Chains A and B, each alone.
Chain A
């Protein structure tokens, strides 16, 4: 089954404690991205990756890091989380970034930073 998986699904942590949210897709997609979703703000793109070892900033990259060492994985790293990073996070993948490509979204990770 074609899918995007994220782990963990829920996470409560404290300010400053480094964390990683994993994302994996089994469709051999080139393009992957991370979004955060906050009430009233819709989906905002954090980072995206056109291919292995190619990443770039989205609209709200501050406080986040990503890496793309393998095509299937695209982890999101918060080196020093702060309360304003409390949010719902989604990973997505598609063959390319073109709007002609269907994006597949993961189930989401709800992060709370105390």
Chain B
């Protein structure tokens, strides 16, 4: 069972870089690491995904060390509109069936 652990909340200021680390000690060989962003009263939105090393897109970067037991989502130069909850997701595809489990998420508050 690949569970994840993230900080409950983080505060930042506009223009700063925000780094959120997710622990997933029991990640399986075939599992990818996916991050979602959720604004209040909206459904989560996919932002980035990776398997190992570093992935970058127009929204964020994802750093994954060689042992893959953790990952760090990096949001460069955040703005007020980046205030949201960020979820780290690692799939659970065990014998019980293909069931996806979201962790508790990290509430990021960007201040002016």
Q: Do these two chains really belong together in a complex?
A: yes
Interface residues in A, total, Cβ within 8 A: 30
CB proximity to B under 8 Å, residues A55-114: 56, 58-59, 88, 90, 92, 96-100, 102-108, 110
Chain A 16-58 interface mask (CB, 8 Å, partner B; 1/0): 0000000000000001010100000111110010100000101
Interface residues in B, total, Cβ within 8 A: 27
Contacts of A102 in B (CB 8 A): 34, 46, 49
Binding site secondary structure of chain B: loop
What total count of A-B pairs have CB within 8 Å?
A: 74
Q: Check B91 against A42 for contact (C-beta < 8 Å).
A: no
Q: Check A99 against B42 for contact (C-beta < 8 Å).
A: no
* Residue ranges of B at the interface with A (Cβ–Cβ < 8 Å): 30-34, 36, 41-46, 49, 87, 89-91, 93, 97-105
* Residue ranges of A at the interface with B (Cβ–Cβ < 8 Å): 4, 31, 33, 35, 41-45, 48, 50, 56, 58-59, 88, 90, 92, 96-100, 102-108, 110
Known: A102-B46, A106-B43. A97 touches B103 (CB 8 A): no
